[in-house]
Structure 1
Amino acid sequence: MKMPENDKQSLSMVTCTAPVNIAVIKYWGKRDEDLILPINSSLSVTLHQDQLKTTTTIACSRNFQQDRIWLNGKEEDISNSRLQSCLQEIRRVSRKRRNSGDSTSDVSSVSHKVHICSVNNFPTAAGLASSASGYACLVYTLSQLFGVESEQLSAVARQGSGSACRSLYGGFVQWKLGEQLDGKDSLAEQVESESYWPELRILILVVSAEQKSVGSTSGMHTSVETSQLLKVAYTFDAGPNAVIYTLQDHLPEFVQVVRHFFPPEVNGEEFVKGLPVCSADLSEELKRDINMEPTPKAIRYIISTKAGPGPCVVKDPNHHLLGADGLPKKSAISD
């Protein structure tokens, strides 16, 4: 669709970014699949957006014929039920504010169709919480476009992906179980800011960037139905990649242990990405104590990061993923 020049001024556009979060106390399943209500409260750490984030641009215009979405360079089906839940709920809340006479709400375009373009700077669907950052970014960007207050977003993002409600805040975040059947009190809240524990470091050991074979929803449902250790045992998140929490002082030695026992490909991609890690020497005693044979190329790379802030608005219009015609820029489309 090519937009006439005199109609381009009717286009409104907002770009935002949102972070990944990794639970340290997981929610192990859902007591209500439709509303995505957890069977237990959870606690997560929001990872820094310098290393892992979703960027989303949303444009609305009276000239758009239908809602459309592009994810990581490819147009996807906008009729996805969870995606529709978020779109419909944001529009409903925005209309309610307009009808109540809220003069601070710029919702004149709430009835217009939207074009959504979203990209991750990390592997999608590989167990790195891409749905959390993706839906958090979608809902936050829609809220900026339609003038919806931030305290109303947690319940909306939860309907897209449960853990997305935690990605609406930085630092250390609790997703409360809630008691109401309609889920209105099952919300996320920040427990502490990202500056609370400055020595904390997070390492993601990427074994595979491929799509995980078992989805989060399916995996948690199996745990609820079959596990006798539910909420007692700890597990990896969905996907094969390990998340390590440690302190800055221990980081160099731990990374060197990983490098020694899981040696990377020679002349391959950078092994440690993100925050720099100093080199360290391993003692022969430590190598003997670990007592295992090196497994070459078992770990592709490490993402080094720390706790970080919540979603933010991108001010520079040059960073929009959509052009003035409402379609993805070439840089946002895969070959």
Structure 2
Amino acid sequence: MKKVTCTAPVNIAVIKYWGKRDEALILPINSSLSVTLHQDQLKTTTSVAASREFTEDRMWLNGKEDDIRHPRLQSCLREIRRLARKRRGDAGDDGFSRILGYKVHICSVNNFPTAAGLASSAAGYACLVYTLAKLYGVEGELSEIARQGSGSACRSMYGGFVQWVMGEREDGKDSLAQQVEPETHWPELRILILVASAEKKHVGSTAGMQTSVQTSPLLKLRAQSVVPERMAEMIESIRQRDFEAFGQLTMKDSNQFHATCLDTYPPIFYLNHVSQRVISMVHRYNAHYGQTKVAYSFDAGPNAVIFTLEQTVNEFVEVVKRCFPPESNGDPFLKGLPVSPAPLPQKLLSAVECDPCPGGVRYTIVTQPGPGPVPLQDLNLDLLGSDGLPKQSA
């Protein structure tokens, strides 16, 4: 039995992807750009084993056996195996050809809520493709294959700041992810995830996109007239580490994405009352200082992703606690990077004054930009045991 375990990161789009021009190949109607989050706080771990003893391909996700026949998963398996056969055939490696004939067992776990608008499919498919590539010895460009599992997964193949170039070819060969800057480029940048709900969202991203493409005139305008200019502006703001420009663009693009969801018929509501309170809180905080010190972004779910700089984290977390008093249920309200208590000046308190919403934010994850997928060297962290089945701890 040959076994490989890897981890892969979540990414959060600051210029959003919403809508496909080709459903089968997952080709987007516009380019997008994201920040890869650090795996110390959010990651998917995947173990893949191949053995001649296995009688069928099998998969387990977060402790439960899942349907490995899912078309997108099969597409990733098929493409990685095809590349492996081609490259191994060229190299004349008979030993590797034998492994290609074996069935595989796949076990994957997320250390964050799945299907709650926190890009779990992006991390999951990026990790699957990367781990399969390591198992079969496939090297080189993998974002095209990850894209066929989940569109945004292609961006999780790289660390730091990543653009997904929509491409123009019908076969999708030029619809790839590219790193704009590495995770070390902007060391002061911090990301706070305010988890308002860990529940599975009511309208999945795939179904939501299909309806938006069919019914939203705003979506077409956005893709053709708005996003190309925003992509150029966003890349420049990242390269210059200009948080004012970065923050404003991030919020405007999030707002427009959710406006297209409302412009969809019937409308799609991913934001809830807590999301709206967070938006109001951020704008009041920035207005107090007369500059953009924090910025929000919401994917297809109610959880807020807050971008800010390191020196603002302590104070802003105190503001969050005032507006959304933590419920004492035994779970820590703050997870991830350390946060220190900070005094709140009376003028700031008056500026952000709100009706407290206890428990509206269940917990907050504090993180920073991080690297792309990595193989795990510690065999004790494998999710599959020597029998090729999930370990009890997984």
TM bin (shorter chain): over 0.9
State the distance in 2 between where 1:121 and 1:283 align.
Answer: 36
1:267–1:101 Cα change, 3 Å: closer
- Displacement after TM superposition at 1:267 (Å): 4.8
Q: What does residue 343 of structure 2 align with?
A: 281
1:220–1:264 Cα change, 3 Å: same
- Displacement after TM superposition at 1:81 (Å): 0.6
The structure 2 residue matched to 1:79, chosen from 62, 69, 72, is: 69
Q: What does residue 101 of structure 1 align with?
A: 91
**Identical positions, percent:** 68
State the distance in 1 between where 2:385 and 2:304 align.
Answer: 38
Structure 1 SS opposite 2:30: coil
The structure 2 residue matched to 1:199, chosen from 167, 183, 188, is: 188
State the distance in 2 between where 1:298 and 1:135 align.
Answer: 30
> Which AA in structure 2 matches 1:45?
V
Q: What does residue 261 of structure 1 align with?
A: 323
Counterparts of 1:1-335 in structure 2 under 5 Å? 11-101=1-91, 106-151=96-141, 153-230=142-219, 231=222, 233-235=256-258, 236-332=298-394
Structure 2 SS opposite 1:281: coil
Count of residue correspondences: 321
Whether the 8 Å contact between 1:19 and 1:167 is mirrored in structure 2 is: yes
> Which AA in structure 2 matches 1:266?
S
Where do 5+ consecutive residues of structure 1 fail to align?
1-10
Whether the 8 Å contact between 2:323 and 2:356 is mirrored in structure 1 is: yes
Q: What is the TM-score with the length of structure 1 in the denominator?
A: 0.92
Q: What does residue 8 of structure 1 align with?
A: none
Structure 1 SS opposite 2:98: coil
> Which AA in structure 2 matches 1:325?
D
- Displacement after TM superposition at 1:240 (Å): 1.1
- Displacement after TM superposition at 1:30 (Å): 0.5
1:102–1:285 Cα change, 3 Å: farther
> Which AA in structure 2 matches 1:248?
E
- Displacement after TM superposition at 1:107 (Å): 4.3
State the distance in 2 between where 1:301 and 1:177 align.
Answer: 35
Whether the 8 Å contact between 1:206 and 1:301 is mirrored in structure 2 is: yes
Where do 5+ consecutive residues of structure 2 fail to align?
227-255, 259-297
State the distance in 2 between where 1:317 and 1:289 align.
Answer: 52
Structure 2 SS opposite 1:150: coil
CA RMSD after TM alignment: 1.5
- Displacement after TM superposition at 1:221 (Å): 2.8
> Which AA in structure 2 matches 1:217?
T
- Displacement after TM superposition at 1:144 (Å): 0.3
Q: What is the TM-score with the length of structure 2 in the denominator?
A: 0.79
> Which AA in structure 2 matches 1:60?
A
Deviations for 1:217-266, whole angstroms, at most 9, x for unmatched residues?
22233333444443351442111101011111111111111100100112
1:310–1:102 Cα change, 3 Å: farther
Deviations for 1:279-306, whole angstroms, at most 9, x for unmatched residues?
1122222222223211111110000000
Indicate the structure with greater helix content: 2
Structure 2 SS opposite 1:24: strand
Structure 2 SS opposite 1:173: strand
1:227–1:268 Cα change, 3 Å: farther
Deviates most, 201-210 or 278-287:
278-287
